[in-house]
Amino acid sequence: MDIDGEDVSRRLHVKFVTKLDSPFKVPVNSVAIPSNVTRLGLSSIVNSIIESENPEWKTEPFDFLIDGELIRMSLEEFLLAKGISAERTLEIEYIRAVTPRKEEEPSLHDDWVSAVNGSSPRFILTGCYDGLGRVWSSAGSCSHILEGHSGAISSVALVNSNDAETVTVATASKDRTLRLFKFDPAESVDSTTKVRAYKILRGHKASVQSVSAQKSGNMVCSSSWDCTINLWNTNESTSEGESVSVKKRKGNNQAEESQSEGEAVTSLVGHTQCVSSVVWPEHDVIYSSSWDHSVRRWDVETGKDSLNLFCGKALNTVDVGGESSALIAAGGSDPILRVWDPRKPGTSAPVFQFSSHSSWISACKWHKSSWFHLLSASYDGKIMLWDLRTAWPLSVIDTHNDKVLSADWWKGESVVSGGADSNLRISSGIAIS
Amino acid sequence: MTKRSKGANEDKLIETKSKNVSGKSQKQKKPVEAESLKEEDLLQASGTDSDYDGDSLPGSLNSDDFDSDFSDSEDDGTHEGTEDGDVEFSDDDDVLEHDGSIDNEDDDGSEHVGSDNNEEHGSDEDSERGEAVEESDSSEDEVPSRNTVGNVPLKWYEDEKHIGYDLTGKKITKKEKQDKLDSFLATIDDSKTWRKIYDEYNDEDVELTKEESKIVQRILKGEAPHADFDPYAPYVEWFKHDDAIHPLSSAPEPKRRFIPSKWEAKKVVKIVRAIRKGWIKFDKPEEEPNVYLLWGDDSTSDQKSKHLTYIPPPKLKLPGHDESYNPSLEYIPTEEEKASYELMFEEDRPKFIPTRFTSLRSIPAYENALKESFERCLDLYLCPRVRKKRINIDPESLKPKLPSRKDLRPYPNSCYLEYKGHTGAVTSISTDSSGEWIASGSTDGSVRMWEVETGRCLKVWQFDEAIMCVAWNPLSRLPVLAVAMGRDLFFLNTELGTDEEQEITKERLHSGNIPEPDASVAAIVTWLPDELYGGIKIRHFKSISSIDWHRKGDYLSTVMASGETRGVVLHQLSKQKTQRLPFKIRGLPVCTLFHPSLSYFFVATRKDVRVYNLLKPGEATKKLETGLREISSMAIHPGGDNLIVGSKEGKMCWFDMDLSSKPYKTLKNHPKDITNVAVHRSYPLFASCSEDSTAYVFHGMVYNDLNQNPLIVPLEILRGHSSKGGVLDCKFHPRQPWLFTAGADSIIKLYCH
């Protein structure tokens, strides 16, 4: 293969490598390609190479990495920008493009969908402004309705799914309470079952904004407009004597259920304004974001905040993930999604800033298994998938026609989202290796 | 004489030497002197007179001139050889004479008559000079003296044991004095004793060599010291003495050239006397030449004109191409253009229409010539011309120095959230104390409660009348919304807060036991139960225009714009009572305001704001003169010392009440009525909204230091509401630097930083 120096566009020697499995593999030969190709061109080249070997190949979009950085411009510009020599044979790694390939039917709710949780691969949890929580086993099929709240549900969390039969979930509501529900996701797929809370957690003085469960499932924490973060026990028993069991009679229903009430184990005080979001990623570490423009890390044992990141904007959401689950992503009252690395000493400046949204960011979630991927949902009605290796969004999901209030990953390959158009939307087929 | 040809410098050096005493110590100084002489010579070359020696101007030539002179004038070529020495001598002599005598103005020639007598002496000198030349040439065989004390009187060392110091600084001890007799005997014995000389300076005996003694003898005889010196050597004629075309005057400088003139001195004395007596006057004013630029521009000569107010008339416009008799085609208007001129007003119509003529001859007389020149004359003498005084000031420098907007962040600048749901213009908004909720009232008769974070409308209260005002109770534990519409004031329970708070709220709004109203207010208001939403409503006798809660959440003031003196009442929610103000209000009240921390009460009438003390009934404690035509709204800084007043002419006044009762600053920004003003509770921000559908955000920093005036910086113009109806209300978020604006387009917008 010789280089034609007089060619209109310069040619580059590249070698395509991948970590993908056999149908996606191409022979490890160096090929000469024009230097002005973009991602699309590279993708079509790889597709044609695969097709030449495998005639039944369906075209598949790919994304390309050079030295761990995604290509988002023409190859020539990329090399220039990064100062990579075009003389030697370039090694381009390709991965399947992170973009939803399938859009499931929307699942209509009665009111705005304010909370979505996809922690469990078996079902999707949603919270709604009509005060009901719903469990969706798949798109369009609601298996359980979690009832009891008198105000809009603001957040839902999966507490415990260890034992196969029953699953514990927690819901936070604007009626200042949290409720814990238990149900069996396997039963009654055909008809919708109504579930009542087995435990009501009272103690917040204002709307509860967010709830998150400990990994073990023994405790949940919740954040509220009263500027506190409360920690609660989730166990049903009242052996500690701290909670009083009350019998509640359901007005028109014959069923009589036992509902226990729980009080907060402890309160983490320190935020000066509404605590908008909490996550509990490790055993004794809680991260919280607040409208007082700070992200804090709390040590559960001591109840003190061990980290205080100042952001400058009121924050709506926070999540922890990425490389060794240490990066903090938060979004709030501006269109910028910020990612901090608290391990970096001496700086509180964000290490990444993603600013493709055009309105407030309502949710951000790290992918559970990937170090690089996270999603963000915004009031501009868009959900964006991000890769830390590029500043452009990998893909934009623009299925909602109103504000997106919440979004989450589901099963590692789907994005579930709920918004002000009262729909739960599932975008699936996202290939994240 | 060959030596002389070396150069005049050396010549002179020798001459000076010969005039002075010759001695060894003198000879040592020679090189230095030669140096200085050279410099002198250079000076002489540039024409300065020197009293040093005879050959004054110009340098080297002179002495030879003298030579030739003598040979010509006096001796007529005889004794050429001897004359040389003669000349040299007489030359010196001449100089001496010049220096010494003042009166003698005679020619040099007569002097030289007697010079022959001194011939012997002259030759003596000559011979000495020859020796000097010898010695100067062979300075290496000269023995340096061993004493180094220099030319000091030797008697200083008379009493010392040493005579001086040698080159290394060691003392030179005196020789032992010999007995006179012994020394005499020694001289008798010694045959060479006649040649010995005692050198006192070096304290040693010097024995002259034979050559030296011969030289001495020759000198004594008056001959040249060296035997081989031939005084009669043939004369080498270096310069020819024939008549040249341009003869150089060989006449010596007459004496009068060197002495000041007597007559001149007399003249000077006369002048000096005249000056002293004042006959001669200096500093006569120079007469200005009476000329001017005939063709110069009049405008530039204005400073010369005697009249201060003279202004040159404007110049006539010079004719251009279009006035030419044969202008280019593009100057000539087409027929349509000419037709369009006819449609124009006469004033706009062009005075002259370019036309083409084939030749100069065919140009007709200009019909307007007389008229125009007449008008020009009228212009010149009837039109007053006034000089415009223009000051050159950089407009930028007039701007006040304000800090950059960047440094004043955060402030609301971009709209991210909209609260949609109303169907009529949103007239009023109010945020609850935590900032979680916002309530709004609209002309469609609905009051809505929104969730700030998501823009979700949580509650709707529907009424029949257009809502005038909504106000959230400032207490967080009493989530009551006061809503004014028409003549009614409603207290609505928002059903927020904890259960206990709800109970208190319900109790407050319980309408079961409304007490009998006082007689004084019975005609103004009546407290009634509200059937619609189970609260309380207060019916007023006139329609309500504005309401304001006291900071403690118990009292509420309402303003009835047409109520005149009864226009402002205070309601107490806990006792469900109404009272009139304990003071009289002058003018029509527009809006009222409670002081944020003290018991003051602000009442804005149409033209000014009065401050009353609620605890001291009576006259107003202060009157703020706004200078505005019609006040529309008022807001107070949380510190309580600064008041902002918005007016219907688009002006906003900032009052610093510690400073003055006049506005500290008046901001004229809006082209239309200001509908509302707002001040942030914690951030140094204030805002105004107007019917021009914009809202302005300002930085309003109030300093604790009383000496420092508040800093007011305009920050941002918030646009976004549709142009019809404008923005009717604006409120700041209680904790975030965000601004809510309520538009007549039925949308509430939230502007974030």
Task: Specify the range with the lowest mean pLDDT, choosing from A77-86, A351-360, B160-169, B703-712.
Answer: A77-86
Contact A299, A317 (CB under 8 A): no
Give the Cα separation of B698 and B714 in Å (integer): 4
Q: Which fold has domain A10-94?
A: Ubiquitin-like (UB roll) (3.10.20)
Chain A residues with CB inside 8 Å of B435's CB?
Answer: 273-274, 291
Share of chain A above pLDDT 90, in %: 0
Q: Which residue has the tokens 């916002």?
A: B438
**Each residue of B81-109: pLDDT tens digit?**
433 433 343 444 443 344 433 444 444 44
* pLDDT confidence tier of residue B264, bands split at 50, 70 and 90: very high
A275 touching B (Cβ < 8 Å): no
- The mean-pLDDT minimum among A53-62, B99-108, B446-455, B553-562 falls in B99-108
Instruction: State the count of interchain CB pairs (< 8 A) between A and B.
Output: 53
When pLDDT is averaged across residues B474-494 and rounded to a whole number, the result is: 85
What pLDDT does A252 receive?
43
Asked if residue B288 has pLDDT above 70, the reply is yes
Contact A206 B434 (CB under 8 A): yes
- Give pLDDT, residue B23: 42
- pLDDT score of B265: 93
Residue with tokens 């060599």: B209
Q: Which residues pair with B625 in a beta bridge?
A: B608
By the 10 Å C-beta count (0-12 exposed, 13-18 middle, 19+ buried), B398 is classed as exposed
**Average of per-residue pLDDT values in chain A:** 80
Q: Residue B736: what pLDDT?
A: 86
For chain B, give the percent of residues with pLDDT over 70: 77
Is residue A249's pLDDT more than 70? Answer: no
Alpha-carbon span B751 to A202, nearest angstrom: 34
Q: Of A49-53, A137-141, B7-11, B219-223, which has the strongest mean pLDDT? A: B219-223
What whole-number distance in Å separates Cα of residue B505 and Cα of residue B130?
140
Biggest CA–CA distance in chain A, Å, is 88
Q: Where exactly are the structural domains of chain B?
A: 414-752
* Concatenated DSSP letters of B394-455: -HHHHS-----GGGG-----EEEEEEE--SS-EEEEEE-TTSSEEEEEETTSEEEEEETTTT
- In chain A, which among 161-180 make CB contacts under 8 A with chain B? 176
Q: Token pair 């001449």 is at which residue?
A: B94
Q: Which of A345-354, B261-270, B301-310, B397-406 has the highest mean pLDDT?
A: B261-270
User: For residue B35, what are its two tokens?
Assistant: 């140096």
Candidates B434, B456, B752; nearest CB to A333: B752
Q: Look at residue B263 in the predicted model and tell me its pLDDT.
A: 92
Q: What percent of chain A is predicted at pLDDT more than 70? A: 90
Q: What is the pLDDT of residue A161?
A: 66
Does A205 contact B498 at a Cβ distance shorter than 8 Å?
Answer: yes
Q: What is the pLDDT of residues A174-204, one digit of tens each?
A: 888 888 888 877 766 667 778 888 888 888 8
| pLDDT at B271 (0 to 100) | 94
Residue A313 to residue B753, Cβ atoms within 8 A: yes
Q: Kindly report the average pLDDT of chain B as a whole number.
A: 76
**pLDDT tier at B18, thresholds 50, 70, 90:** very low
Closest chain A C-alpha to B501 CA, distance in angstroms: 10
pLDDT at B42: 41
Which of A219-223, A237-241, B509-513 is most confident?
A219-223
Contacts of A52 (CB under 8 A, 6+ apart): none
Q: Are A185 and A143 in contact (CB under 8 A)?
A: yes
- Any chain B CB within 8 A of the CB of A200? no
Report which listed range, B293-307, B493-507, B667-681, is most confident.
B667-681
Instruction: State the pLDDT at residue A274.
Output: 87
- The pLDDT score that the predictor gives to residue B266 is 95
Distances (CA, A) of A381 to A163, A397, A416: 37, 9, 13
* Average pLDDT rounded to a whole number, residues B719-748: 87
Q: Assign A237 a pLDDT band (cuts: 50, 70, 90).
A: low
Among the listed residues B129, B4, B2, the one whose alpha carbon sits nearest the alpha carbon of residue B55 = B4
Long-range Cβ contact pairs of B439-444 (< 8 A, separation 24 or more): B439/B470, B439/B472, B439/B481, B439/B494, B440/B470, B440/B742, B440/B748, B441/B467, B441/B468, B441/B469, B441/B470, B441/B483, B441/B485, B442/B466, B442/B467, B442/B746, B443/B467, B444/B746
Q: Which of A119-123, A414-418, B81-85 has the highest mean pLDDT?
A: A414-418
**For residue B5, pLDDT beyond 70:** no
* pLDDT classification of A421: cutoffs 50, 70, 90: confident
Nearest CA in chain A to B451: A174
CATH topology of domain B414-752: Methylamine Dehydrogenase; Chain H (2.130.10)
Distances (CA, A) of B660 to B363, B623, B636: 77, 10, 16
CB atoms within 10 A of CB B722: 12
How far does the CA of residue A229 sit from the closest CA of chain B (Å)?
Answer: 17
What is the reported pLDDT for B620? 74
Q: Mutating which of B454, B458, B682, B750 best tests the A interface, going by the most A Cβ atoms within 10 A?
A: B454
Domain range summary for chain A, segments of one domain joined by +:
10-94, 101-234+256-426
**What letter would DSSP give residue B282?**
-
Q: Which structure tokens are listed for A95?
A: 């991965």
- Per-residue pLDDT tens for B530-565? 777 877 888 888 888 888 888 888 888 888 877 777
- Interchain pair A359, B416: CB under 8 A: yes
Structure-block tokens of residue B42: 């250079």
Q: Do residues B422 and B724 lie in contact, with contact meaning Cβ atoms separated by under 8 Å? A: no
Return the closest-CA partner of residue B689 out of B637, B738, B743, B735: B743
Nearest CA in chain B to A204: B498
- Chain B contacts of A405, Cβ < 8 Å? 454
> Can you tell me the distance from the alpha carbon of A14 to that of A33, in angstroms, rounded to the nearest whole number?
7
The pLDDT of residue B268 is above 90: yes
Structure tokens of A179?
């409720």
- The listed CATH number (1.10.540.10, 1.10.1060.10, 2.130.10.10, 3.20.20.70) that belongs to domain A101-234+256-426: 2.130.10.10
| B227: CB partners within 8 A, 6+ apart | B214, B218
Instruction: Give the least confident one: B71-75, B219-223, B240-244, B474-478.
Output: B71-75
Mean predicted confidence (pLDDT) in A161-178 = 80
Decide if B105 contacts B111 (C-beta within 8 A).
no
Task: Provide the pLDDT for residue B272.
Answer: 95
